[in-house]
Every structure is written in structure tokens, then in C-alpha cells.
């Protein structure tokens, strides 16, 4: 599946990659999960197939490594899913980090049943995968009397059946995992809901942020004085600027008395349109942070 949009996207990804590494070499980014994970697919979609990945057990580790320019050129982090919704802890990690959003990838999640070469459906006795992946495939799995075993990661399940040369165990994972671990996709696209997308943020620690001339999306965080109608005033400014508010997420402010900050994703036609809107919003908010101005994904 192609990521983002056409030639402009490839140019943006290439420029971001070169700017991150500083010398035109292959980018190295942190991801959550193992090789063959959907995070790695997202990284490849943005940076290209040659991107090196640093596999992390947690999203906190992803952010920590992405912040360290000596270890990596950035990170890739899932932020929301079209079925499960927002990954709220990751917004908190983003807010506390010094990372900048330089792009995004919308990846269609395709689950596949993987086996070692030569294994047939009638040979399978167990299916291993992450609990979420298993739930996404119940429509297919209910047709068989297999034992379902929950694991910590889809790609790791694929790796294990490859390592152990399992003849009676299958894994649910990505096509990339099948390619990496030399497994057969005995049943492709077994997920029940086909319209399942995950949005990934491309994060980099940039001293001098890249200026994208055709940027048309931004992510910001703000809070108001919480007086009556204060949030409505901000939303009115955004609307009157002709900017599309594609996402608004509220978060409790730690240590406050039921006060909230707001994450907003904004889509616009020109950079000046966004810049002029921000000038007004700054005057009617108590805190405003711009996470990044970038090219929106498809």
C-alpha cells in the first residue's frame, strides 16, 4: 500500500530523512514492537525500505531513543486507530517530549495467517498473536477449532514459529513479517473489519525544524483560562480562519482542579493561513505549543 500522497510525499520523506541524518545516509528510527511489525511498515512507507529500525518494548522507550540524536534520527509512534480510537498515553508522551511531528502515515491494518512453508490448514492446532489481532480476526477464526494463544506482539509470534520450525502453530501478523521470517501467508486478509487504519506520527528531534513549503496540517496543544466560553472562542477563531479542525482531544492538567488542555489537529490550504490564525489564538489562550507543521497523510 502506498503511503501519503504521490511524488510530493516521497520528496518530503526523503528531505526529512536527509535532514534528520545530516549527511544523506539511511535514517535510523525507533519503533514499538519487533521487526515485521506495523510500526516498521509505517517507517518504510515514510522513509523508504532502507530505513533502519530500533525495536523498542514500550512507547516510552521509542520517545526516549527518538530524542537522542546520537542514537537515532527520530521515531515512529502510533497515535490513533479508526476502530479502537486514540492512544491517550502516547499524547501524554508527546506533550512531555521535545520531539517535533514532521509527518504522518495512515496504514491499513491487514492481518494474515502465517505458517512455515509446507504447513496446511488441517495441520494447524494453535494460532498465536497479540490479543487485539486475534479479536480483529474472530470472523475467520470462529470457523476452526484452534487454540488461540495471546502473545505480546504480532511480529514476535511470527518470529517464534519461524525459529521453532513449528508445524502445528500459525501466527497472525503482517505481510512484512511473512517476508522477513520466510513464512507462507496461508490465509491473507483474515481481519473481519476491512476499514481498519492506524495513524502513525513521524517524530524527530530538530534544533532547526524543516520548513515544508506545501505543509497543510499542524498539531497543537493549548489551554485557556477556563472561563465561560473560552474554548468556544478558540474554536470560533479556527473556524473563521477557514481551517478544518480534524481532531480535538481533551486532557486533564495534572495537579489542577478539573482543568483541561486540548490537542487539536488542523488542516489548512496555506501556511500563512495557519500562521495568522495562531497569532490570534495565542492572545486568547494561556498556553500554546505547536507540535509540528507537516504534510497530511492519506
**pTM score, two decimals?**
0.88
Cβ pair 281, 222 in contact under 8 A: yes
- Confidence tier at 25 by pLDDT (50, 70, 90): low
Q: Confidence class of residue 212 from pLDDT cuts 50, 70 and 90? A: confident
How many Å apart are CA 146 and CA 161, to the nearest integer? 16
The DSSP bridge pattern shows strands 169-173 and 126-129 to be parallel
Confidence of residue 9 (pLDDT cuts 50, 70, 90): very low
Could you read off the pLDDT of 166-198 as tens digits, one per residue? 999 999 999 999 999 999 999 999 999 989 999
Q: What local confidence, expressed as pLDDT, does residue 207 receive?
A: 61
Q: pLDDT tens digits, residue range 85-106?
A: 999 999 999 999 999 999 999 9
SS3 20: helix
Q: From CA 49, how far away is CA 41, in angstroms rounded?
A: 9
126-129 and 147-150 strand pairing: parallel
Cell digits of residue 128 = 498465536
- pLDDT, residue 2, reads 35
CA distance 265 to 220: 7
Q: Give the tens place of pLDDT for each residue, 276-297.
A: 999 999 999 988 999 999 999 9
Domains of the chain by start residue, with CATH: 6-109+196-204 (3.40.190.10), 112-179 (3.40.190.10), 217-294 (3.30.70.260)
Distance between CA 213 and CA 12 in Å, rounded?
A: 10
Res 12 pLDDT > 50: no
- The mean predicted confidence, pLDDT, of the chain is 90
- End-to-end Cα, the chain, rounded Å: 11
Amino acid at each position: 500500500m502506498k503511503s501519503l500522497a504521490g511524488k510530493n510525499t516521497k520528496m518530503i520523506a526523503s528531505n526529512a530523512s536527509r535532514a534528520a541524518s545530516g549527511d544523506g545516509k539511511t535514517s535510523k528510527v525507533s519503533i514499538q514492537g519487533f521487526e515485521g511489525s506495523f510500526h516498521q511498515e509505517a517507517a518504510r512507507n515514510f522513509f523508504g525500505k532502507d530505513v533502519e529500525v530500533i525495536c523498542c518494548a514500550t512507547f516510552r522507550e521509542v520517545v526516549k531513543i527518538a530524542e537522542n540524536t546520537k542514537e537515532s534520527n527520530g521515531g515512529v509512534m502510533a497515535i490513533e486507530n479508526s476502530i479502537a480510537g486514540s492512544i491517550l498515553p502516547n499524547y501524554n508522551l508527546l506533550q512531555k517530549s521535545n520531539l517535533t511531528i514532521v509527518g504522518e502515515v495512515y496504514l491499513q491494518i491487514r492481518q494474515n495467517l502465517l505458517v512455515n512453508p509446507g504447513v496446511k490448514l488441517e495441520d494447524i492446532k494453535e494460532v498465536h498473536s497479540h490479543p487485539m489481532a486475534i479479536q480483529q480476526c474472530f470472523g475467520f477464526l470462529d470457523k476452526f477449532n484452534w487454540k488461540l494463544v495471546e502473545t505480546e506482539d504480532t511480529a514476535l509470534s511470527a518470529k517464534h514459529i519461524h525459529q521453532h520450525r513449528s508445524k502445528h502453530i500459525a501466527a497472525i501478523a503482517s505481510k512484512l513479517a511473512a517476508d522477513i521470517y520466510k513464512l507462507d501467508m496461508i490465509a491473507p486478509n483474515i481481519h473481519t473489519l476491512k476499514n481498519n487504519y492506524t495513524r502513525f506520527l513521524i517524530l524527530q528531534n530538530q534544533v532547526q525544524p524543516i520548513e515544508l513549503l506545501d505543509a497543510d496540517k499542524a498539531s497543537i496543544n493549548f489551554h485557556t483560562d477556563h472561563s465561560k466560553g473560552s474554548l468556544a472562542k478558540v474554536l470560533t477563531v479556527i473556524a473563521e480562519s477557514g481551517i478544518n479542525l480534524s481532531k480535538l482531544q481533551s486532557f486533564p492538567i495534572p495537579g489542577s482542579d478539573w482543568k483541561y488542555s486540548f490537542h487539536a489537529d488542523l488542516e489548512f490550504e496555506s501556511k500563512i493561513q495557519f500562521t495568522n490564525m495562531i497569532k490570534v489564538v495565542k492572545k486568547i489562550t494561556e498556553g500554546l505549543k505547536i507540535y509540528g507543521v507537516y504534510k497530511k497523510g492519506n
